[in-house]
A and B are shown apart, each in its own frame.
Chain A
Amino acid sequence: MEATPALVADRLRYSYRRFPWSRGRLALRDVSLRIAVGELHLLAGANGAGKSTLLRILAGLERPDGGRVTLFGLESGDREVLGRVAWLPEASDAESRLTARESVELFAALYGFRGAQRREQAERALGEVGMAGHARHQLRRLSKGELRRVAVAQTLVTGAELLLLDEPLDGVDPEASERLLELLTARCRAGASVLLSTHVLLDGRRGGDVLTVLDAGGVVASGPPSVVLERDAEGTPISFAELLRRARGRT
């Protein structure tokens, strides 16, 4: 018998509407997604492809116009799901005067960690993302990439089983990006599931079990990265722009 997937999104549709009765702009059209337990799922797409909207729907913040989301076999928005899912938005709290450790501890506390265990978890999470040396620095003093790494630590510290990460690598340098991907892969091997969105195409050899490419609100390709990332005649993976051109040609 197949294990219950961490997330199943079935034919999601969503339109941005100024008013409930207005027609709106189509943001997602019949998007289906399935993330198995222990899977690192990459969601790639150009700016405005609908990645952030999809993640907000999956996190239960937005209600889709059509389609259905189940998390661990439960309906999205079910109280049982809260605490098992952690969402990282694309924006960072760049003005906060909290220190990196305080901000990570806050999320640990929200997910129920107490006292010494909370502090230990916060320090460990900061260490994992390479920010242990900045634990006492206020968030407003950190660079964009450092803020994103702290934000990832805030998500990791929750101990949630499904992580929905919206552009966690935005502004992060290549070395730290690689480290974060390795870290997330290790988390997945330990039983967590991760959906990571990015607007730059990742090299499939560095990580990711499944790669889904969104374009103009629809899925244009999905599968193992080695399959999705076609190679040219010389064996070099094709560029993201080329991938989109080919996918659009097919659709």
Chain B
Amino acid sequence: MTPIRGGALRRIAFVARATARDLFTGQSTALVILALIGFAVALGDLRAASAAERHVLALRQRLELVVALSATAAVLASAHAVAEERRTLAFARLLTTPLRPFQGLAAKTIGVFAGVTAIAVPIEVALLLVPSSGLLRQRELFAPREQVAPALVETTRPGGERLRWRRGPALLDAGATLLFRFERDAAPELELVLPFVRASGEPGAEPLRWSLSIGGSELLAGRGVDDGSIVAPLSRAERGPVVATLRGLSGDEVLTVDPAACILRGPPGPILGSVARAAAGLVTLVFLASALGAGLAAALPAVLASAAAGCLLLLATLRSLLVDVARALEDPHAHVEPATRAVAAAMERLLSFLPDVARAAAATPISLGTAPWRAADVIALALALAFALAACVAGAAWLRRTAGGVR
């Protein structure tokens, strides 16, 4: 009886299938119940300015719940599967077969990933397509749009003093100007979106009169804040950067503008782009969670491996928020202890190594006027996959060193 030599991919596929099968038979009911509970929780009331906004927020919240539950399930399942294999010497046994340690761990990761996504993806697709609250109800809300952030924002005070804006809100009063420079050729299909945060002043103060000009020619003018934001289509095509200037003309009120939210926005694209991004985010995150759980469980007990993988995922998911906090603390004008500043700097350096999983996560791209695929999205997904690969390589090295995790 001479065995036929098979390829590594075939062996990985077979172990992965057995892992998924084992997981599916045992845990699928629990996972579906968890997802249903989450779904029910996500149906709660949401506060939003309009019915359309509520619709978007509700869908995002439900999708985020599916992502969070899927990632949690993947971490727990992969850590448990690898720890169980170590305990029963099954991993050690696999290592005496033609399967290599990395192949074995990768197969476990893929098996758990396949098992979890087989449940999560249909749930996500169902959420996206629910007639009353899915993507198809108000599809224009979910169409991806090109978004160009300003390369430069400059404020000019009434006295003529010029300041380059870096972060936080910018104030506009009579005699002041706000200049936005976008590194993009002007085109008629683009529109400028300029949201006001609020207007403030003494009771009975005269509303601020303002004007908006683009490339030197006045486009719009108004008084105070009516609907909270200006949306001004660019009327003509022109080469060179788009420069928008908002001037405070007269009045006692002060308008607060959030320059970070001022963008040049393109026309709505096909809705499939949003769905593809959501799906890519979900599967990448679940794969990363499976690999982290499996890689850590090669060396740690299942509970510790799950906790460590969960913490790493949380750090990666909250990366943007934590980087903002760290930068705020590092600011020389912030009133913080030097030690806190040093910790913030160290945290920012540490976070720079983590992929921005929130960018890749499924729910984030499903939003009002979301941007289409960008290089940064692809980099975030690739970085997450590289992390998953690194976790498997490190776990496999440990398994080889410890005879399948026995020692």
Name A residues whose Cβ lies closer than 8 Å to a Cβ of B: 56, 59-62, 82-83, 85-98, 102-103, 106-107, 109-114, 117, 121, 138, 158-159
Ordered by A's residue number, 14 sampled pairs between the chains whose C-beta atoms are within 8 Å are A56-B406, A61-B92, A61-B96, A61-B406, A86-B97, A94-B88, A97-B22, A98-B22, A102-B21, A106-B18, A110-B94, A112-B98, A121-B1, A159-B1
Whole-angstrom CA separation of A125 from B95 in the bound complex: 22
- Mark each residue of chain B from 1 to 26: 1 if its CB lies under 8 Å from any CB of chain A, else 0: 11111100011001100100110011
Residue of B nearest to A52 (CB): B89
Residue of A nearest to B97 (CB): A110
Contact B404 A61, beta carbon cutoff 8 Å: yes
Contact B403 A62, beta carbon cutoff 8 Å: yes
Whole-angstrom CA separation of A91 from B404 in the bound complex: 14
Contact A114 B22, beta carbon cutoff 8 Å: no
Interface status of B99 (Cβ within 8 A of chain A)? yes
Q: Is the interface of A mostly helix, strand, loop or mixed?
A: loop
CB contacts (< 8 Å) of B89 on chain A: these are 89-91
Contact A112 B406, beta carbon cutoff 8 Å: no
**Contact with B84, one of A95, A110, A112 (Cβ below 8 angstroms):** A95
Given contacts A56-B92, A91-B88, A93-B90, 16 further A-B contacts (CB under 8 A): A83-B3, A83-B97, A85-B96, A88-B93, A95-B84, A106-B15, A110-B94, A111-B6, A111-B98, A112-B3, A112-B4, A112-B5, A113-B4, A114-B10, A138-B25, A159-B1
**Contact with A106, one of B14, B87, B404 (Cβ below 8 angstroms):** B14
Contact A61 B403, beta carbon cutoff 8 Å: yes
Contact B14 A110, beta carbon cutoff 8 Å: yes
In order of increasing CB-CB distance, the 5 nearest A-B pairs are: A89-B89, A109-B14, A112-B6, A61-B403, A97-B25
CB contacts (< 8 Å) of B25 on chain A: these are 97, 138
Whole-angstrom CA separation of A60 from B5 in the bound complex: 21
B107-158, CB < 8 A from A? none
Whole-angstrom CA separation of A95 from B18 in the bound complex: 14
Whole-angstrom CA separation of A91 from B406 in the bound complex: 12
Nearest Cβ distance between residue A203 and chain B, in whole angstroms? 29
Q: Beyond A61-B95, A61-B406, A83-B98, is A158–B3 a contact (Cβ under 8 Å)?
A: yes
Residue of A nearest to B4 (CB): A112
CB contacts (< 8 Å) of A62 on chain B: these are 403
CB contacts (< 8 Å) of B1 on chain A: these are 121, 159
CB contacts (< 8 Å) of B26 on chain A: these are 97
CB contacts (< 8 Å) of B21 on chain A: these are 97-98, 102
Interface centre among B18, B88, B96 (most CB of A within 10 A): B96
CB contacts (< 8 Å) of A110 on chain B: these are 11, 14-15, 94, 97-99
Contact B18 A102, beta carbon cutoff 8 Å: yes
Contact A93 B88, beta carbon cutoff 8 Å: yes
Contact B4 A87, beta carbon cutoff 8 Å: no
Contact B93 A109, beta carbon cutoff 8 Å: no
CB contacts (< 8 Å) of B10 on chain A: these are 109, 114
Whole-angstrom CA separation of A83 from B98 in the bound complex: 6
Whole-angstrom CA separation of A93 from B22 in the bound complex: 12
Contact B97 A96, beta carbon cutoff 8 Å: no
Contact B6 A114, beta carbon cutoff 8 Å: yes
Nearest Cβ distance between residue B111 and chain A, in whole angstroms? 11
Interface centre among A60, A112, A121 (most CB of B within 10 A): A112
CB contacts (< 8 Å) of A90 on chain B: these are 89
Contact B11 A96, beta carbon cutoff 8 Å: no
Nearest Cβ distance between residue A190 and chain B, in whole angstroms? 8
Interface centre among B4, B84, B89, B404 (most CB of A within 10 A): B89
Contact A159 B96, beta carbon cutoff 8 Å: no
Whole-angstrom CA separation of A82 from B98 in the bound complex: 5
CB contacts (< 8 Å) of A86 on chain B: these are 96-97
Residue of A nearest to B89 (CB): A89
Q: Beyond A61-B404, A98-B21, A159-B3, is A109–B11 a contact (Cβ under 8 Å)?
A: yes
- Mark each residue of chain B from 390 to 407: 1 if its CB lies under 8 Å from any CB of chain A, else 0: 000000000000011010
- Mark each residue of chain B from 68 to 96: 1 if its CB lies under 8 Å from any CB of chain A, else 0: 00000000000000001001111011111
Contact A159 B98, beta carbon cutoff 8 Å: no
**Contact with B88, one of A87, A92, A112 (Cβ below 8 angstroms):** A92
CB contacts (< 8 Å) of A102 on chain B: these are 18, 21
Residue of B nearest to A106 (CB): B18
Nearest Cβ distance between residue A1 and chain B, in whole angstroms? 24
- Mark each residue of chain B from 213 to 247: 1 if its CB lies under 8 Å from any CB of chain A, else 0: 00000000000000000000000000000000000
Whole-angstrom CA separation of A85 from B5 in the bound complex: 14
Q: Beyond A112-B3, A112-B5, is A56–B98 a contact (Cβ under 8 Å)?
A: no
Nearest Cβ distance between residue A132 and chain B, in whole angstroms? 18
Contact B403 A96, beta carbon cutoff 8 Å: no
Interface centre among A61, A83, A92, A102 (most CB of B within 10 A): A61
Residue of B nearest to A89 (CB): B89
CB contacts (< 8 Å) of B88 on chain A: these are 89, 91-95
Whole-angstrom CA separation of A111 from B87 in the bound complex: 23
Whole-angstrom CA separation of A56 from B4 in the bound complex: 26
Q: Beyond A60-B96, A61-B403, A102-B18, is A159–B90 a contact (Cβ under 8 Å)?
A: no
Nearest Cβ distance between residue B140 and chain A, in whole angstroms? 46
Whole-angstrom CA separation of A203 from B10 in the bound complex: 43
Interface centre among A90, A91, A107 (most CB of B within 10 A): A91
Nearest Cβ distance between residue A195 and chain B, in whole angstroms? 13
Residue of A nearest to B18 (CB): A106
Whole-angstrom CA separation of A111 from B11 in the bound complex: 8
Whole-angstrom CA separation of A39 from B394 in the bound complex: 40
Nearest Cβ distance between residue B405 and chain A, in whole angstroms? 11
Nearest Cβ distance between residue B110 and chain A, in whole angstroms? 15
Nearest Cβ distance between residue B397 and chain A, in whole angstroms? 15
Contact B2 A159, beta carbon cutoff 8 Å: yes
Nearest Cβ distance between residue A170 and chain B, in whole angstroms? 13
Whole-angstrom CA separation of A111 from B97 in the bound complex: 7
- Mark each residue of chain B from 286 to 303: 1 if its CB lies under 8 Å from any CB of chain A, else 0: 000000000000000000
CB contacts (< 8 Å) of B95 on chain A: these are 61
